[in-house]
Structures are given as C-alpha cells and as structure tokens.
Amino acid sequence: MVEDINQVPISAQKDYTRQRLVLYCCHGKDLKDILAEIEDYTQKKSALNRMVLFNVPTDWKFKKKFVSKGIQGFFYERDPLDIFLKGIGAVLDGKQWLSRDIMTRFILEDTDNDRSLRKSSDNLTERQVEILALIAVGATNEEISDRLCISPHTVKTHLYKIFKKINVPNRV
C-alpha cells in the first residue's frame, strides 16, 4: 500500500498477465489535483489495472471526466462495507461500479447530444426511462422484473417499445 499514486511502482506493472486494483482515496483532496494525478498515472499503467476512487464526496461533479480517464468505480464516504466489497468484486470482474444516478445522467446527457435521439427520449414514459436506466447498469430482464414488480413479459414489451422509440436494434 502506498500513500501517493506516484509511488505505485510502474516497473512492477510490466507483468501484463497480473491484474492490479488501485484504490485512490479522495478524502480531503482537491478535485483538480486528483484529476491531474489520475491523468498522469493512467498514461503509465497497464491495461489490466483497475482503478477506483473511494471516500468520494457525494456532491462531486465531473464524474464523467473521471470515467473517461479510466476510473472503473466510485465509492462514497458513507458507503457501507458490504457495498464496497460487492463493488470491488464487480470491478475485478471487469465491470464498472457507478451509481444508477451517474449512469442515468450519462445516458440522458448523451441523448441530448443527438437531436434525433432527444426527440425519441422525450417520448419515453417514466417507466421506460426507469427500465432504460436499469439496462444501462447491466440488469437482466429478470432483475428488472423483480426490481419493478412487473412481469417478465411486461419488461419485454417495454423494451420493444423503447428500442423502437430510440431506434436501436437491441439492448447493447
């Protein structure tokens, strides 16, 4: 364990067969300094490295910028240990650990950048937006069905209508 990201040994990273998890503590640090350190570090790191930020203040902006720099997860100051452990497991499995709120904002932000998609998303019902957000975080039809207390058939019907409205062939 090192206190400073610049102290993570780069030479040890030449073993491209080993995955490394880098936990970056954000407690009491300036947002711009963190971003600069991460940009510098990600230029040197192995592609197998997984980097997450923890002790992240909930009021942070610019999370999309961090994701674009290769951050695979955010853990907030008040996250309980079980959530932290579950998230670390997901990141080590190659997934991202982002809050539903972040994912929803990313989807809607990207939708706003494309006029044709914006018109389509304006036509989505509240339930369809909810289902689309769950798809974005990797939920299966069965998980969506359980979470929203609707039948699997109803989920499929919503998905069909969503895909048609936003002009996509499938959930990918």
Please give the residue range of the domain that contains residue 43: 5-97
Write out the two tokens for 74. 């955010």
Q: Determine, yes or no, domain membership for 74.
A: yes
The residue out of 80, 97, 114 marking a domain boundary is 97
* Residue 172 in domain: no
CA distance 156 to 170: 11
- The structural domain count of the chain equals 2
Are residue 68 and residue 107 in the same domain, yes or no?
A: no
Out of 97, 112, 144, a domain closes at 97
Residues 153, 92 within the same domain: no
Structural domain ending residue among the three candidates 79, 97, 115? 97
Q: How far apart (Å, rounded) are the C-alpha atoms in residues 116 and 119?
A: 5
Domain with residue 38: its CATH number is: 3.40.50.2300
Domain co-membership, 14 together with 88 = yes
How many C-beta neighbours within 10 Å does residue 121 have?
A: 20
Secondary structure element (H or E) that encloses residue 53, with its range: strand 50-56
Measured distance CA(88)–CA(23) in Å, rounded: 10
Taking CA 135 as the corner, what is the angle to CA 109 and CA 138, rounded to the nearest 5 degrees?
A: 110
The tokens 């002009």 sit on which residue?
167
Name the pTM for this structure.
0.53
Same domain, 69 and 111: no
Taking only the tens place, the pLDDT of each residue in 92-150 is: 888 888 887 777 777 776 555 555 444 545 588 889 888 988 888 888 999 999 989 99
pLDDT above 80: residue 164 = yes
